[in-house]
Structure 1
């Protein structure tokens, strides 16, 4: 199977957004599963380039020529969810999004403030007052539907991606990082692009330049619709 990432779905300029690409790779590997899937990124996913999925029943690999871009496999996701904040608290937290002051990738498809409404997802997760958590509201738009009103699965992966970085690095200086791995389990696959959602992320520890986070997508009523665990690699050696 061949996969190509459109140029608009970038993270850093010139390469794909990690969460969006991971979602595309997961969908190519197992389109309709409700099992958790882990995608490990081994190289920046190139844009507008044919990538090859090689797979067996247990796992898959994404290749660009002789370079392995990612691996994909089923996973067991053990993740304790905190009580989500309210939508009002998420809206307030989003106003304090640190990316408004400085952003290493301002045109990131998910969290870049330079992306226009209806172009990027514009999910701006900020610290929730009194909680060890970042949060943001998310209102999808019609172009994110894969059919009729149904939100495309790779957009859910993308929406979980960048907030988890800000959760993983909560309270730290703004060291840029790249997604190393993302495990996602989607509990409700038929989500409407017409609904508003809540995304919460929280830190789960660190190891040298690695930072870990839990992240979840909730309905406005606080029902968990998808959850994930991310590993981030900070680019600055001073983060060790």
Structure 2
């Protein structure tokens, strides 16, 4: 199997796993993988994560032009902005996962660091998650908002919309966005109950031990 064929199959497999476990639904969410030539494989517009076809994934050149496959997701500017600002990004995943979206609607969430320090794992895999204001789906302003972060965040939350995570490869991006959703669920379950958070020193130790980007 060629590398391109392997990437196509991996995208379909990961997407189906996310869909089957209810982490995105209907035709929501999109995923991409950066290619060696600077282009990307992207899930098509209007497609369901549960029914992606490897042969119909959208292949884009480095400028975002469609080379083959179906018409790409309207969120291409969002993916492109991550690749242009984070040289380490090999894949980007965007979901409409329920608990993450719900947490983004809470009025007391810190927009610079939206996840409470409940466990070390979200810190290790995500760093600080930036909450961006509501932007219309498909609006190029999403890409501009990502560029405005100058590559300093691997994960953002689009308010009232869904999380977006960039990782070194597809597996890393999927694992990280699953951790984001799990932590958001914990935050909602424990909301108002006064849970014991990791202390500032605890967080600093995790950041140092696991060499986490923390700005």
Q: TM-score range by the shorter chain?
A: 0.3 to 0.5
Decide which structure has greater strand share: 1
Q: Relative to total residues, which structure has the larger helix share, 1 or 2?
A: 2
